[in-house]
Amino acid sequence: MLATLRMNKPEWILIVIGCITASIIGARDPVYYIIQTKLATVSQQCDKNVQKRKIDFRTISFFKYHSIYGYVFARSGEALTKRLRSKAFQAILRQDMTFFDREENSIGALCTRLATEASVVQCATGVRFGLIFQHLFAMVAGILLGFACSWQLTLLMIVFLPLMLFGGFLQTRLTVYYSSKDKHILENAGKVCGNDFFFIMDSLYCSTEDRYGSHSKHPNSNAVDEIKLLL
């Protein structure tokens, strides 16, 4: 994780801005109903210009923070993905010939790794930090707002917080488990696809397109199984 963060060092300003914006977005959710109440009270004012000005201000603020949050993390993430794929490709080119003779290092499998693994690593840095800040500030703001409104009800809700954390942990473990299964299946599909491009006539005779189709169906079935378990 630390090595990945060091690789993302050139975009640290964007990540900091994104984390700050994510904190604002997270703290906004608990006070969303208060804002909705303010918008409802604005409509009671007689001055149409005041109504329009206040509604426009709150609406623009809503979209502005989300736009900044999405832009900075998308830009830093794409830069990291490009950097990781470049380094991975350079590492592949420096391997000896015996490396490419192994079945797991076929052209299709290597292309699949370059296409998927860099994106997975990128999701573990900036975007994850943004989600951490967003959920952390949402929880803190919600607790503070709850104590301000009704401390008895807030204490009652805090009792269920460990159960919610356990549910999130279980969901994360299931997602990681099915992602690892999908990775292995997609690598096998990449091997078949790569061999088909190089031996197109043999593929027609051997009907390997059916094998590729069977490999491609497994990620969809895994996703359905994951949804059933979560439900």
Q: Which domains does the chain have, with CATH numbers?
A: 2-230 (1.20.1560.10)
Which residues fall within 8 angstroms of residue 193, CB to CB, at 6 or more apart?
108, 212
With a pLDDT cut of 70, the percent of the chain lying above it is: 58
Rounded mean pLDDT of 17-27?
78
pLDDT of residue 75: 79
Q: Report the alpha-carbon distance of residue 25 to residue 141 in Å, rounded.
A: 11
Q: Which of 89-98, 178-187, 200-209 has the highest mean pLDDT?
A: 89-98
Backbone dihedral region for residue 95 (phi beyond 0: left; psi -120 to 50: alpha; all else: beta): beta
The model carries a pTM of 0.54
With 0-12 / 13-18 / 19 or more C-beta atoms within 10 angstroms meaning exposed / middle / buried, residue 169 is exposed
CB contact at 8 A, 208 and 192: yes
Which residue from 79, 68, 66, 69 is spatially nearest to 121, judged by alpha carbons? 79
Residue 158, pLDDT > 80, answer yes
Q: Which of 79-93, 108-122, 214-228 has the highest mean pLDDT?
A: 79-93
